[in-house]
Chain A
Amino acid sequence: MKRNTLAHSLFALISATALAATAHAADIKIGVAEALSGGAAQYGISIRHGFELAADEINAAGGVNGNKLQLIIEDDQGKKEEAINVFKKLIFQDQVLMVFGPTLSNSAQAADPIAQAAKTVAFGTSNTADGITSIGDYVFRNSVTEADVLPETLRVAVKHAHIRKVAVMYGNDDVFTKSGYDNFVKALEHAKIPVTTTETFAKGDVDFKAQLTKIKATHPDAIVLSALLAEGAPIMVQARQLGITVPFIGGNGMNSVKVFDLAKGASDGLYVGSPWSASNESPENVKFIKAFEAKFKTQPDQFAAQSYDGMHIMVQALKTIKLGGNLAAERSALRDALPSVKWTGATGAFQFHRATDKAGKPAGYDAQQTAIVSVTKDGKFVIEK
């Protein structure tokens, strides 16, 4: 293990030096616009790590047809104005080939139209809200929307935990958790599972006992929870303190190994579904987790896995196009090559499927992947089928 780490740092060092030495015109400039400060930074920084890891691997293996990837990373602060500014800087000033990001769905709603108008690919790895890919045909994402995942999570949880009625709890001031909630409601309606009560909370809350006390009184068989970890973990802890023992069914936001630390002693019985699981032992995922831990000395999460895969997916398309012409031609060539990419990475088998805009016309591209459902048990995610 120790030698492995050393080898990796050496590797990183060499590739960094190589990058510095060969920073000439043949470098392929890739824009990365993520929230590196402010409230969304905890996701943005994780995403950035995923990109850096993938780019280092690709460059260490000789780059793309001999050309090195050069990441130009900018902070969008998780704000829509900043996301627009950063997209414009990357596209018009830095003349990047394409842009990854932004971190938040709200920022994507504001910034992706800029990329669309400039005929430059905008590739989101963490935007899950409905409607983002309907902005136009230059908008791609490999983040699976909750609409695709939640029905499967619900099916598995119902099968294993004998659920007949549920209580619902969600953060109503956040795009991620609100759109998760909307999709849970659809999935519950579809599965004909009655809801005993629906409770909300806000970002930054520290106390959830009023809502949980109300939920407890309705005797649900499970609590459906659309929350980010910051609130989700304390909710689980406080529920157990109030003697609520039923399982939780969580959205994407709860799919992180940090739940075992942040909800220590109360982390059992949480069902989550996602294409990526820390416990998935596919060779691609094992390799990703090992490399990530070696490079950043911390465990990866779903955000890192998706950005890592996103970079690899983009590079598959990049390999097939001819570079060295004018930038506009390269940008549209990349856009034309992306939809047919098929790739198996840390998040499993991946391909794009076409989304439609409001009028029903074909627009951008969403991810098509299968969800893995797992349940927490003794500090581990256990995969259930």
Chain B
Amino acid sequence: MTVAWFGTFWDVYSNLVLSVGTNALLALSIWLTLACGMLSIANAAFMAIGAYASALLTLNFGWPFPVALAAGMAAPALMAFLIGRPTLRLSGVYLAMATLAFGEVVRIVLLNTDRVTGGALGLNGIPQLTRWWHVALALAVTLAVLWRMRRSRIGRAFEAIKEDETAAGLMGIDVAGYKMLAFVLGAAIAGLAGALNAHLTFFIGPGEYGFDRAVEILTMAILGGIGSLTGPVVGAVILTLLPELLRALQNFRLVFNGLILVLIVLFLPRGIWDTERLRRWAGIVRRQA
């Protein structure tokens, strides 16, 4: 009985559940740069590069999936490395805008190289190779690596750079090097999410990786809260499921989607997963008990 129920549930919602997973990866990819004090919104573009690189390999050359996934991480990481040096000198809003412009350029290049990428028609008939445990494993490994990193010298360096870049430099921290590390690693995670997603949905096209996606990734991370690793994951879960949960509202459902976004920003300043607030609540409960 339970098994049958789960079977139907999985038939209907497997894609949604796996989307939650890839979106969580994307939110973590931007968390990494945010944790280092950089607002880079090139993650949609890195996702695109990862998706196209891996899909072209499996589709045209029949490469094994793990190799294609690795290539889907390596290609955006390389791209990040190349543009990182000049770009990461920028800070604040200027970095955001430069990375946004870079994203647009990537999208237009995909549109114009239609012999390879299919242009606006995108790539069709991508083999559906992504299994649920691929996504679960990718998410688990990413979380483990990032968790470990937070508690290491690298994490402390990120924290110092985020607090005050100049002071961190004076303390002898290699600011440019650590920033580059966050940027390149973030690009690789976004590429992985792109590669997994491409092999889940049979189809990819340049339209998916534009301004809207960039903003959506940022929103997931901020909404969930960037104070911890749980925050971005929670943000991804909520933003992916919200439109589905609101399906009953029909025509005006996206109005409520927007409304909920505004309300969360207004009333939960540190995002939904605010460790301090949670600890406070836990404290109240303990005191009462």
Contacts and interface: CB of A to CB of B under 8 A. Distances in A.
Question: Is B a genuine binding partner of A?
Answer: yes
Contacts of A93: 8, 11-12
B122 A175 contact: yes
Nearest to A89: B12
A280 interface: no
A135 B125 CA distance: 8
Chain A interface mostly: helix
A36 interface: yes
A172 interface: yes
Interface in A356-376: 358
A130 B118 CA distance: 12
Interface in A105-121: 105-106, 109-110, 113
Nearest to A106: B205
Contact of B15 (A74, A84, A131, A175): A84
Interface centre among B120, B201, B244 (most CB of A within 10 A): B120
Interface residues of A, number: 33
B20 to A, nearest CB: 11
A358 B111 CA distance: 23
Nearest to A179: B121
B243 interface: yes
B11 to A, nearest CB: 4
A88 B11 contact: yes
A106 B123 CA distance: 10
A109 B126 CA distance: 10
Interface string B115-157: 0000111101100100000000000000000000000000000
B203 interface: yes
Contacts of B119: 172, 178
- Counting chain A CB atoms within 10 Å of each CB, the highest count among B8, B124, B253 belongs to B124
Contacts of B243: 77, 82
B21 to A, nearest CB: 13
Interface string A75-93: 1010111101100110111
A178 B202 CA distance: 20
Contacts of B251: 36-37
A358 B112 CA distance: 24
Contacts of B124: 109, 131
Contacts of B15: 81, 84-85, 88
Interface string A35-64: 011000000000000000000000000000
Contacts of B11: 88, 91-93
A272 to B, nearest CB: 21
A85 B244 contact: yes
Interface in B1-46: 8, 11-16, 19
A129 interface: yes
Contacts of B12: 88-89, 92-93
A324 to B, nearest CB: 22
A113 B128 contact: yes
A178 B208 contact: no
Contact of A110 (B201, B244, B247, B250): B201
Contact of A106 (B112, B114, B207): B207
Interface string A2-19: 000000000000000000
Contact of B16 (A80, A85, A129): A85
A179 B120 CA distance: 9
B220 to A, nearest CB: 14
A173 B206 contact: yes
B254 interface: yes
Contact of B205 (A77, A81, A88, A175): A175
A37 B121 contact: no
Nearest to A130: B121
Nearest to B257: A37
A109 B202 contact: yes
A107 to B, nearest CB: 8
A82 B114 CA distance: 25
Contacts of B114: 178
B122 A172 contact: no
A1 to B, nearest CB: 30
A148 interface: no
A119 B152 CA distance: 52
Contacts of A175: 120-122, 205
Nearest to B112: A172
A34 to B, nearest CB: 13
Given A88-B14, A92-B12, A109-B122, A80 B206 contact: no
A174 interface: yes
Contacts of A109: 122, 124-125, 202-203
Give the residue among A37, A81, A89, A113 with the most B Cβ atoms within 10 A: A81
Interface of B: 8, 11-16, 19, 111-112, 114, 119-122, 124-125, 128, 201-203, 205-208, 243-244, 247, 250-251, 253-254
16 contacts: A36-B251, A75-B247, A77-B243, A80-B208, A81-B201, A84-B15, A85-B16, A92-B11, A93-B8, A109-B124, A109-B125, A109-B202, A110-B203, A130-B121, A131-B124, A175-B121
For the complex of A and B, list the 7 residue pairs with the smallest distance between their C-beta atoms, beginning with the closest: A109-B203, A92-B11, A178-B120, A110-B203, A92-B12, A93-B12, A110-B201
Interface of A: 36-37, 74-75, 77, 79-82, 84-85, 88-89, 91-93, 105-106, 109-110, 113, 129-131, 135, 172-175, 177-179, 358
Given A81-B201, A85-B244, A178-B120, 18 more contacts: A74-B247, A79-B208, A80-B208, A81-B15, A85-B13, A88-B11, A88-B13, A88-B15, A93-B11, A109-B125, A109-B203, A110-B202, A110-B203, A113-B128, A173-B120, A175-B122, A175-B205, A179-B121
